[in-house]
Amino acid sequence: MDQLNLRHLYYFWVISREGSIARASEVLELAPQTLSGQLATFESAVGGLLFQRERRKLVLTDLGKTVLGYANDIFALTGELNETLRLAPAERPLTLSAGVSASIHKLIAYYLLQPAMALSRPVQLECRTGGTEDLVLGLKRRELDVVLTDRAPGMDEHGSFTVHPLAGSSISLFASADLASRLKKGFPESLNGEPLLANATDAPYFERLMNWFSLKGVRMNVVARIDDSALIKVFGREGLGVFAAPTVIEQEVCRQYGVQCIASIDEVKDELFAITRGRNLAHVGVRAICEGKRSFNTSE
């Protein structure tokens, strides 16, 4: 093989990423027969099979794993080059596509994105909310520039991404004024048997909170599971139960919803991360999010 056919290498890379010729053909907008023929041509050029079929699935051969390792490096670099070229010239508005995990409070998401919006260069922000797994897939497909999440996915499952720790917070418990006033006395034992409004998005901090309750011997009564951060606070305001939220937005939660803080729990943390492709943060908006200072002062 005198010269590597990069187009064929790219087709192989997409097939390995998508897991089947059918799904890869949709991404590449090619007929499956055409893509299968291109793969066969590439296999002939490299001198061996790159995939073998096992139970109707494509599985990489040893040669395929070797080629994929190089392909990952090659297309990671070309992707970074494309992003760098896409950002020039400096006076053009900068497009930033950000994925935000649905379990992150929207006010906190705003503070995480704020450094990018504060750039001197105009920024056109596109936000997508959803589950972390789906958002990381969008990042993998280059539909997103960055993913903000409260959970770091297993990198072995998702390829060569970089996880950047961002600001975190302890967790506080809130309730209507009457309920909070009663539960502050004798906390946390006062919570036993009291109504709890649960976060239905399986936010990691809520799982940690439930573990903390268990360690303290506290058993609350879950009366509702709500996946909307605003709706759960409305229920709490109406006296239907206790809810949890990050301490950094305590003042705003109390002001906006007319509730009171029962207590802050330093042992339970809401940890936040940004996930990016590669380590070279060519996108200045992504770099601002990952490296910039942000303020969580909601009293301003």
Q: Is 92 helix (H, G, I), strand (E, B) or coil?
A: coil
3-state DSSP assignment of residue 88 = coil
Q: Are the C-beta atoms of 232 and 199 separated by less than 8 Å?
A: yes
CATH of 6-86, one of 1.25.40.10, 1.10.10.10, 3.40.640.10, 4.10.490.10: 1.10.10.10
pLDDT digits (tens, 9 = 90+) for 142-180: 899 999 998 876 654 445 688 888 888 899 999 999 999
Task: Fill in the DSSP letter of residue 152.
Answer: -
Distance of CA 63 to the CA centre of its chain: 33
**Topology alike, domains 89-157+278-291 and 169-270:** yes
pTM for this entry: 0.65
Structure tokens at 151: 């959970």
CATH 3.40.1030.10, domain 169-270, yes or no: no
Do 140 and 185 touch, CB atoms closer than 8 A? no
| Domain positions in the chain | 6-86, 89-157+278-291, 169-270
Q: CA 164, CA 199: separation in Å to the nearest integer?
A: 25
Q: Which of 13, 20, 16, 27 is nearest to 71 (CA)?
A: 13
pLDDT of residue 38: 93
Place of tokens 């055409």: 34
What are the tens digits of pLDDT across the range 214-265?
999 999 999 999 888 889 999 999 999 999 999 999 999 999 999 999 999 9
Quick one: fold of 89-157+278-291? D-Maltodextrin-Binding Protein; domain 2 (3.40.190)
Which of 199, 171, 198, 180 lies closest to 108, judged by CA?
171
Q: Which residue has the higher pLDDT, 154 or 132?
A: 132
- pLDDT tens-place string over residues 55-89: 778 999 999 999 999 998 888 888 777 766 666 66
